[in-house]
Structure 1
């Protein structure tokens, strides 16, 4: 009968070191789970969007009146420059298109350019004393189309 020997490579060390390695591996899995699961369940922090800014996100009004409130209110102290709206009938039709009575007093006016477009800035009485409505209209303002570009309310200090 042949002599049966166990090969040397099949020899294994005693069982206790394998148990320690298995226990250490199991402990590492448990620690990883205890750290990862709460991190995955927590909502992400609020962050500003990282998308590129688009024209819709810009808060500057491109049709804003290019004058300060002080400059607009200074129109009260000088003769109105109505430009193409100097004709009383045309001015009356424009005011009606804006929702004002045709004979409303224009407290100040000036021609200017808004976003590259010609305009006439009209300063009208507001709803209360000392308040004014600054309305920029296209020079072609008429009864059918006011051509309103922008409007702002002001108060004289």
Structure 2
């Protein structure tokens, strides 16, 4: 929900909806509703716990390094923008009236496009948008972390992941990682939290549920999913609640994972 689409109306509860509490924390409620809700949630221990969890996660996210556009991606975007502007200019020229009917440039008030300035503005928008998306994903993770969970966490953070390869053909290539366990940097983690990319076998919801249950996950669903390779071996990476605020379980399974077959390749943690 954006600031231009503020939620209105008197709060209904308790129990309060998680969406409503998230909107209160994000500051997107109208002032009257927000003031009413702040007074009422003070008497609700569960609501105060969720708001405290959101505060802690926001602080953790603020400590992460800023996201930037990789140089190769930025170059492709710049080239695409220039091609679009060039095509638009050609269309306008083809549709323009005869030269004798066109006013002199001084009278048209035309605008010159500064690609350097446009590129800088786009970089700023990308950084802001990525940050907001990361907050939204982390807020969803907080909701799972404050609910009961019987999952275990284990693993190591010794291996260093390789850079993500460039996708071809319109689909993202598997994220190539190396090491005894899956480890992610902040940028990779944020990208996976916004992804729902499943292998062909785990696209089936029933098989995905069976795979999760075989690995001890009996509630909730993955917060993010991404196809990867670990030391060259194909795997499915699932980001799950980690049992604590700001802590996440990184479960990597093989393509054969399903009911009664955990096919576990790696089980590590991020954050916490």
Question: How far has the Cα of 1:62 moved from its partner?
Answer: 3.9
| TM-score normalized with structure 1 length | 0.54
Q: 1:88 to 1:127 in 2, by over 3 A?
A: same
Equivalent residue, structure 1, for 2:267: 151
Partner Cα separation in structure 2 for residue 74 and residue 116 of structure 1: 21
Question: How many angstroms apart in 1 are the aligned matches of 2:248 and 2:179?
Answer: 22
Q: Tell me the CA shift for residue 69 of structure 1.
A: 4.7
Q: Which runs of 5+ in 1 are unaligned?
A: 1-58
d(CA) in 2 for partners of 1:152 and 1:73? 16
Tell me the alpha carbon deviations over residues 3-55 of structure 1, each in whole angstroms, 9 at most, x when there is no partner. Answer: xxxxxxxxxxxxxxxxxxxxxxxxxxxxxxxxxxxxxxxxxxxxxxxxxxxxx
Distance 1:69 1:151 in 2: 18
State the 1:66 CA deviation.
6.2
SS of alignment partner, residue 95 of structure 1: helix
Higher strand share: 1
Alpha-carbon RMSD across the aligned residues, in angstroms, is 2.2
Residue aligning to 1:18 = none
1:95/1:104 contact within 8 Å kept: no
* Structure 2: gaps spanning 5 or more residues: 1-157, 160-177
Is the counterpart of residue 140 in structure 1 residue 270 in structure 2? no
Normalising to structure 2: TM-score of the pair? 0.32
The residue aligned with 1:105 is 221
Structure 1 residues 154 and 127, CA, compared in 2 at 3 Å: closer, same or farther?
same
